[in-house]
Structure 1
């Protein structure tokens, strides 16, 4: 299952709005014969990719999948039937499919005489690449991460407005790798006009990642014709509003959205209750002045502050990446 979980990372961003699933097929002797992840919508699911790699070795073997095999026919056929037809003898999955349209694969497999086990490493898998899809199934909207890159005193720019680069190369490389896994990245027109960002997902060698997120600009001002946002990269989506809910309306199929705008956009999403996860890239720098990371006019007293729960701390060179989950009553 750990191998299947690692495989599923390759589907994140690529498979949306379908779940990013990983699968491994073992032969009858317990040796890995195939592994894969879900492809783009309309392409094969993870089980089909793994079965194709395994070929005849799948007969009498075992399939290990991060999500219960689907049981419906859409743009592709049901994976439960493909596993049965391949002669798989046992299936182990982590998470039961919460989508009633696709659920029922476990029952179909059992009815065909396949041994089925659910819940394998379920907690670990639910915190992995499936997390945004599971969130959308429960809440009907994408998981929204607020990204902050700040000095140790919470400033995102010096008093003269300079901000490149507060964090170091390891933190920037990590941030670009994450862009390659999300569906959309959001900034305000202030950031778009002041910084002229490309908002692309780039590798350390300067090349582009295969998957590029949609680039969303929130606000009423026009993105200039020669802006980098109009160049190569994901599609540009102009949302002529200051309401974060309008961003969600413009992204009906997104699973994971990254808010990377300035303090005003960050504050707007927080005030709207539309931040679920915060990633703080913190640099060992003290600026002493300049813009703060968040401008939320709705908070006037400590009792109104947004409370968070720390999930993880990662060292990235001299910087720290701190992951927080928003705590809601």
Structure 2
């Protein structure tokens, strides 16, 4: 089946409202729905506001009332066929008398799958895959976590031009500029988990919360996860009441991510030290790298990542650059370059 121009425009609108600021990044996907009359005009729209609230289809149907009969529902994700905190969207659409459903991304969640088939059984015309790439990008981490059964991992670090994360005396305060630090908090707000090692907590005492000048106030702070076997002193800031904290008592990145997946976490922001970064890299568990490069040279000091076992250039870990952004302070001197990359090769295991 083909789609009309009105349906494609409605899908663009559904994607836009699904991304409404303030909607939690997980554990549920962000979904938008637009209901169209037979003449292509908009009857109602709705979007999912987070776990336990009405799904996008239900919100749109409630707004439309009886006008939903004979309508077309344009939705960014295949309607669910599952009873959880709310009822199945497939049954709600059938009960409302919707005649046609156009969706973007198939629902790969084994718990909720089957909505399209149920709608077809009920006599509804169903078209899937419309603007699927845009829908997958909207829920990148959710899509990844459902498919891989582990969270998506973004490793973030700051470095000088010669690859140093701190000077020889341990100072690192100005490796990242204020503009970069503000940008980091914006990226933190897009994740549901902050992950560091016990060493970082013991030495740096970070709070690991989203603060400073982010685009929108954060109502739900990311989970703070600390990985390692050592006990944490009770006075560490990561144990305060500003966010939830979990201590993952393991040194195995696979075990840590498996535990976070059990907790419905989908996007980990890895901000630990070089040893933790090296462990995740060598395990093949870094999916994205975000680095802030400062225009300075140190010549010595701590490296951004621990020994990866690379002895020759042929074994180097290669990354594909997907974005380059210059971050400048108000005076023009407070500058970092943010590089966003994805690994294309991994360290060779000997």
Q: TM-score when scaled to structure 1?
A: 0.87
Q: Secondary structure at the match of 2:341?
A: strand
Q: 1:282 to 1:107 in 2, by over 3 A?
A: same
Q: Secondary structure at the match of 1:127?
A: helix
- In structure 1, C-alpha distance between the alignment counterparts of 2:278 and 2:73, rounded to whole Å: 45
Residues 186 and 215, structure 2, Cα contact 8 Å, conserved in 1: no
- In structure 2, C-alpha distance between the alignment counterparts of 1:103 and 1:297, rounded to whole Å: 41
Question: Counterpart of 1:321?
Answer: 338
**Please, which runs of 5 or more residues in structure 1 have no aligned partner?**
none
Shift of 1:260: 0.7
Match of 2:81 among 71, 89, 95: 71
Q: 1:281 to 1:50 in 2, by over 3 A?
A: farther
Shift of 1:10: 4.9
Shift of 1:176: 1.6
- Cα distance per residue 1:104-142 (max 9 Å; x no partner): 2122223334332211111222223x2222222222211
2:267 is the counterpart of 1:250:
no
Q: 1:165 to 1:54 in 2, by over 3 A?
A: farther
With 237-246 and 199-208 compared, the bigger mean Cα shift is at: 199-208
- Cα distance per residue 1:180-230 (max 9 Å; x no partner): 232211111221122211101125179961121111112233322121111
Residues 263 and 292, structure 1, Cα contact 8 Å, conserved in 2: yes
Q: Secondary structure at the match of 2:340?
A: strand
Q: TM-score when scaled to structure 2?
A: 0.83
Q: Secondary structure at the match of 1:186?
A: strand
Computing the radius of gyration over CA atoms, which structure comes out larger, 1 or 2?
2
- Cα distance per residue 1:125-163 (max 9 Å; x no partner): 2223x2222222222211111112223332222222222
- In structure 2, C-alpha distance between the alignment counterparts of 1:30 and 1:154, rounded to whole Å: 56
- Cα distance per residue 1:301-328 (max 9 Å; x no partner): 3233222222233343343332222225
Count of residue correspondences: 327
Q: Secondary structure at the match of 1:144?
A: strand
Q: Secondary structure at the match of 1:185?
A: strand
- In structure 2, C-alpha distance between the alignment counterparts of 1:82 and 1:11, rounded to whole Å: 26
Query: 1:59-138 counterparts in 2 under 5 A?
Result: 59-128=69-138, 130-138=139-147
- In structure 2, C-alpha distance between the alignment counterparts of 1:163 and 1:13, rounded to whole Å: 34
Question: Counterpart of 1:184?
Answer: 193
Question: Counterpart of 1:212?
Answer: 221
Shift of 1:12: 9.1
2:301 is the counterpart of 1:301:
no
- In structure 2, C-alpha distance between the alignment counterparts of 1:257 and 1:293, rounded to whole Å: 18
- In structure 2, C-alpha distance between the alignment counterparts of 1:326 and 1:205, rounded to whole Å: 28
Q: 1:112 to 1:249 in 2, by over 3 A?
A: closer
Q: Secondary structure at the match of 1:178?
A: helix
Shift of 1:32: 6.4
Residues 320 and 344, structure 2, Cα contact 8 Å, conserved in 1: yes
Match of 1:155 among 156, 164, 172: 164
Question: Counterpart of 1:224?
Answer: 233
Query: 1:278-297 counterparts in 2 under 5 A?
Result: 278-297=289-308
Q: Secondary structure at the match of 2:33?
A: strand
**Please, which runs of 5 or more residues in structure 2 have no aligned partner?**
1-10, 329-334
Shift of 1:50: 3.3
- In structure 2, C-alpha distance between the alignment counterparts of 1:190 and 1:81, rounded to whole Å: 51
Q: Secondary structure at the match of 1:137?
A: helix
